Chain A
Amino acid sequence: MSDPALKTKAVRDASADEIEVLTFEIGGETFALEAAIVREILDLLPETIVPGSRPFVNAVINFRGKVIPLADIRVAMGMPAAAATIDSRIVVVELDLDGTPSLVGLRTDRVNEVATLSKAGGEPPPRVGLRWPPQFIECLIHREGAFIIFPDLRTIFSSKGRASQPD
């Protein structure tokens, strides 16, 4: 069930530097999204495959009586497939898609925590040496010797969906 903390708008510092994020894991990497856009964290639900859709949004689920798309960052990033585990969760986020507020479910391997990060410590994705399409990453933030990846959901969702691997 949803944490009330997630529903309240992230309170930002006057510096607008600190942001509240939800961190989660996909394929052993840690990702983060602004907590303010997260609506709910769900256990896995029955999925309905949408034939002919882009591979990273290949299904829909019934979220509280609404039919919402289920997106897979793993597929978008071209990461190897993995089976669901008992830790797998769906993170439901609300995004503005072409001017329409839309709910989208994201498949994750595990949801970690709500944390406060400083975006000042963030850096743009390196142009080379990255396993993933750089345009899908908004920034990387160092934390405790590891990277936290901020995916650029807007770019991912507007892409053709066939993740172009950097050569």
Chain B
Amino acid sequence: MSNPDPADIFRIEAAELLEQMEQGLLDLEHRLDDRTLVDAVFRALHTLKGSGAMFGFDRLAAFTHHCETAFDRVRKGQAEATPALVSAVLEARDHMRALVEDPSGDHAAEERYLLERLQAAVSGAVAAPMASVADAPAKTATPTAPTTWRIRFGLPENTFVNGTNPLSFLDELRAMGECRVVLDRSTLPPLEQLDPTALYLAWDVTLTTDRSRADIEDVFLFVMDDMALEIEAPSDGAPLPEVAPPVLSDIDAPARAAAAEPPPERPEPEAAARPVADAADPKLRRKVESVRVPAERLDELMDRVGELVIVQSRLQQIAATSSDIGLRTVSEEMERLCSELRVTMMVLRMVPVATLFDRYRRLVHDLQRDTGKKIELSTDGESTEMDKTVIERLADPLVHLVRNAADHGLENGEARRAAGKPEAGSIRLSARQTGGEVIISVTDDGRGIDRARVRAKAEAAGLIQPGATIADQDLLQLIFQPGFSTASSVTNLSGRGVGMDVVKKAIESLHGSIDLASRPGEGSTVSLRIPLTLAIIDGLLVRVGEGRYVIPLPAVEECIELSQEEDLRSRGRAFLSLRDTLVPFIRLRELFATGTRPDPYQKMVVVSTGEERVGLIVDQIIGHHQTVIKSMSKLHDDVTTFSGATILGDGSVALILDVANLVSLGQEQEAQLRAIA
């Protein structure tokens, strides 16, 4: 294994952060009241602490925490940035670098000195409570008597998708003292508007604890920047309304600026409480803290999670037969953690398509030069996320589509002017997610596809009979046929041996599909529908004999229970009548030679590959299963019935059926049975 040490990756990141921090501090020295700089330094500190802890630089994380706390107070207006504070943190920053480079060295004396300086700088910098901030400044000392805090919070909508479990925050709060957690459902949208993967709920927590406000805030450390959080002690302001419904709602970033000011129709006693995140600068908020990780390391992590799941299932089996309550509890906890870990893993591989779209700016720039056409590239939906591998594999097909649009789609300036269009042609790249798919489209406002030329070309190539009637959409689809190229003169851009058929193949290899729409004179749109990820598919888990198999869900048309009568009647025949059509079917029990008795009620799963359908007869439909696809070994290259395998929750392997192959098998079988009859 030649993988770089994770610690080295962190060191690279840390060097960048320390650099940012230093620049920020140096600028801050001259502009002490510049909030943007305060925020920038705070963020660098915050990220350094978080990543440090993640990579095992605990000492660094602990030390940085003190500086972060100091800057957090400045950020919240509880303290002022002073030259003393800036120089104390600058010195502390040099020490952080030492902690990054030599985490195990003896730094105790240095740390004590630096923290004393920091403390001195901080205590001299406490701001007089400002009129707009009614609540007490955070106490750095731990209160001796337990305080009752009221904590209201709403988490970002993408909390689930980010793999964060809100329940764990509640567990942490509960661990701090006597705690009453009330769920606020008032912000739940109507079912039809609900995105089931988004989080809408909020909480109102009353916590009696001897811990400080900072301790409570620490619970939310890694989501703090994007959430709405209010923490108040009852003594801070007006007495708490006893059963007032929590009014916090989770809102996205642009909306939150408005929400920071309480809407007039909802007078709130805690008008002074503000979301922790500063809403002043949306640009800063947008900045995502991230760590770069090579994709193969994620694959390794995925494998480790797979192993963990097996160990967990063994533990579960042992626990199930044991009367040891402790063991059972641990086992249950393990199970929960494992399932959460799997969910988290699935979202880790996702990256925004912006990383893809950005590559085409340069391409379009070059295309303008080469074609002599003016082209404006616009993009939208760049924040749509897809699996990294998928994005990599889309890069080349999209290059071809953009080239095609520039070369064949867009007219030259003269022709555009004559057609009353703006001189600069437009190419638009857009991405949006619908369900488990992302639709990426390339749209131009050019001349559209010349049907007559397509037809002539197709006839010449023998793809259609001369003069054959063919639906417009089918005619357009001919462009994807191998060897088809509409450019009557091959330019140096398109048509260099790569046709649209190659694009189509590339998209199909991603389990995606390609569509073309075009209006003469107005332009064309090529849309690619791509599954979110290659690594994961939605599947239907079925049982055949004693084996469990996964059928890719997009291929499933319907599931039908066969009555015993129908089942008997179908024996020796190749078709089942489904409503008005005959569907060829395959008894998977026979195909797989399970040697088991069929379940009394056989189920038929009708799958299709576009036009052709086939019924797969199984013993049992177990349910939906989101599946991490593993490829099959070379030793099973000869087995074409399966396209891959997956590991189920209990650690066992289930094979994924290759629908295209089964459909053609069904057709063959049908032909054979016909021949016999």
Contacts and interface: CB of A to CB of B under 8 A. Distances in A.
Interface in B572-605: 591-594
B635 A104 contact: yes
Contact of A51 (B635, B641, B647): B641
A52 interface: yes
B633 A52 contact: no
Given A48-B547, A49-B547, A62-B310, A69 B635 contact: yes
A97 interface: yes
Contact of A66 (B306, B634, B642): B306
A65 B303 contact: yes
B29 to A, nearest CB: 51
Interface residues of A, number: 26
Interface residues of B, number: 33
B240 to A, nearest CB: 50
Interface string A2-38: 0000000000000000000000000000000000000
A60 interface: yes
Contact of A71 (B302, B635, B641, B654): B635
Interface in A29-67: 46, 48-54, 57, 60-62, 64-67
B651 A97 contact: no
Given A66-B306, A102-B633, A102-B635, A51 B653 contact: no
A65 B302 CA distance: 7
Contacts of A69: 632-633, 635-636
A132 interface: no
A60 B632 CA distance: 9
B645 A67 contact: yes
Contacts of A57: 633, 635-636
Interface in B182-202: none
A85 interface: no
A57 B645 CA distance: 15
B652 interface: yes
Contact of A98 (B630, B634, B645): B634
B639 interface: yes
B633 A48 contact: no
Contacts of B279: none
A64 B305 CA distance: 9
A68 interface: yes
A157 B639 contact: no
Interface string A53-96: 11001001110111111010000000000000000000000000
B649 to A, nearest CB: 12
A65 B635 contact: no
A86 B651 CA distance: 21
B655 interface: yes
A46 B307 CA distance: 13
B639 A67 contact: no
B635 A67 contact: no
B587 to A, nearest CB: 12
B654 A97 contact: no
Given A49-B547, A104-B633, A67 B638 contact: no
B654 A48 contact: yes
Nearest to B303: A65
A48 B635 contact: no
B295 to A, nearest CB: 16
Interface string B292-327: 000000000011111101100000000000000000
A87 to B, nearest CB: 20
Contact of B304 (A49, A65, A68, A98): A65
Nearest to B313: A46
A53 B639 contact: yes
Contact of A68 (B310, B633, B651): B633
A9 B93 CA distance: 45
Main secondary structure of the interface of B (DSSP, over half): mixed
B405 to A, nearest CB: 38
A61 B641 CA distance: 18
A52 B538 CA distance: 25
B636 A53 contact: yes
A62 B593 contact: no
Quick one: which of B594, B633, B638 has the most chain A CB within 10 A? B633
B635 A64 contact: no
B651 A62 contact: yes
B652 A48 contact: yes
B635 A62 contact: no
Contacts of A100: 634
B647 A67 contact: yes
Given A53-B636, A65-B307, A104-B633, A60 B641 contact: no
A67 B630 contact: yes
Nearest to B306: A65
A46 B591 contact: no
Interface string B624-665: 000000111111101111100111000111110000000000
B592 A61 contact: no
Contacts of A54: 635, 638
A48 B304 contact: no
Nearest to B645: A67
Contacts of B638: 53-54
Contact of B306 (A46, A62, A102): A62
Nearest to A57: B635
A103 B630 CA distance: 13
B421 to A, nearest CB: 52
A54 B639 CA distance: 8
Contacts of B630: 66-67
Nearest to B653: A48
A60 B653 contact: yes
Contacts of A157: 635
Contacts of B647: 62, 65, 67
Contacts of A68: 633
A107 to B, nearest CB: 14
A50 B91 CA distance: 64
A33 to B, nearest CB: 16
B634 to A, nearest CB: 4
Nearest to B594: A51
Interface of B: 302-307, 309-310, 547, 591-594, 630-636, 638-642, 645-647, 651-655
Given A46-B652, A53-B639, A57-B636, 11 more contacts: A48-B652, A50-B639, A51-B592, A51-B593, A51-B594, A65-B306, A66-B303, A67-B630, A67-B632, A100-B634, A102-B634
21 contacts: A48-B547, A48-B655, A52-B640, A53-B635, A53-B638, A53-B639, A57-B635, A60-B632, A60-B636, A60-B653, A62-B310, A64-B307, A65-B305, A65-B306, A65-B310, A67-B630, A67-B631, A67-B632, A67-B633, A67-B646, A102-B633
3 closest A-B pairs by beta carbon, nearest first, are A65-B306, A65-B303, A51-B592
